[in-house]
Amino acid sequence: MAANPKKGTEAAMIDCCMIVVTTEEDNPRSIAVTSDTAIAVEAQYDTREAVRLVIKDILKAQKPERRIPVGHTITLTDNLTILEMIEILQGGTITRGEGGKITGYTPPPIGEKYTPVKFKLDVYTSQIDEGGNTVQYEKISYPGCQGSPVALGAEDNVFRVNTYTINSAPKNGEAPYTLEYVDELPTVDEAVLGALTVTSKAGSTTGKTVLTVSPTKGSGNSYKYKTGASVTAPVYDEVCSSGYTDWDGSAEITATTGQKILVVEVDSANKAKAAGTATVAAKA
């Protein structure tokens, strides 16, 4: 006698609450999308056609079609423009001004070979009960993602809606996605780059300057600096390695009077936490 069917575990899911993109880099970038978004997901397969043995119009045997999962094509729509997200999806360079404010963006040039950075895409959806209360959040993670070129349009009297195509191609043997339930959404770091007050005065020997920086750096943090005719502060949590020089906070620095000097406070991962600039005054 057949067993009685059992009722499955039912969950009422609604809303695309948050999307988090985390790059697979030595110093990962992580961007949270919390605006009005939608995700469409289409499974991708490598299809092996069926093989049939037909003799005198009579089917004698057949090997059925086989479908091998290879990943997903994900279409993400967002009603706000997030250039940091576009930079991850198609590369290019964001330019910033004083205080890390974005002043522009340049995509990869035509004719230049570019391999998009890989990233993991996390999608959070609410599970609610009969009283309208959020019980928990469903988190679906898609590995091995890469973006596609992004086009930015405009229409009179209509807010722009951006559409991004993302291809998820996991490694051989890796699951095409994972699903888990979590009690809370990730905490989104909205911190901005802190401000340092930097002063420069003539040092003890020719070509040297003495810097004073306030407030003092946080525990475990350190300083880096760069000089030039003009200098641009990093954005909060930007990795400051290339182009910077380590500074212990007290040693005199070789610099040219009249140039700008940028001092950045970084954490143990060289991520910027605060910055300030001054005009160099070196001993003649």
Cis peptide before 234 (omega within 30 of 0): no
Instruction: Single out the residue of 265, 193, 263 nearest to residue 231, CA to CA.
Output: 263
Instruction: Single out the residue of 233, 238, 276, 262 nearest to residue 103, CA to CA.
Output: 233
The whole-angstrom separation of Cα 247 and Cα 263 is 9
**Torsion angle of C-alpha atoms 191, 218, 26, 264, degrees rounded to 10:** 80
CA atoms within 13 A on the CB side of 219: 0
pTM for the full predicted model: 0.73
The whole-angstrom separation of Cα 193 and Cα 273 is 6
Give pLDDT, residue 99: 61
Give pLDDT, residue 192: 76
Amino acid identity, position 236: Y
Q: Which helix (H) or strand (E) segment is 60 a member of?
A: strand 58-63
Which tokens belong to 250?
């007290």
The whole-angstrom separation of Cα 217 and Cα 98 is 20
Which tokens belong to 37?
């978004």
Q: Give the pairing of strands 194-195 and 272-279.
A: parallel
Give pLDDT, residue 96: 75
Instruction: Single out the residue of 220, 43, 62 nearest to residue 142, CA to CA.
Output: 43
Per-residue pLDDT of the chain (284 residues; tens, 9 = 90+): 778 899 999 999 999 999 999 999 887 889 999 988 999 999 999 999 999 999 999 999 999 999 999 999 999 999 999 999 999 999 998 887 766 678 899 999 988 877 789 999 999 999 999 999 999 999 999 999 999 999 999 999 999 999 999 999 999 999 999 999 999 999 887 767 888 999 999 999 999 999 999 999 988 999 999 999 999 888 888 889 889 999 999 999 999 999 999 999 999 989 899 999 999 999 98
CA atoms within 13 A on the CB side of 187: 2
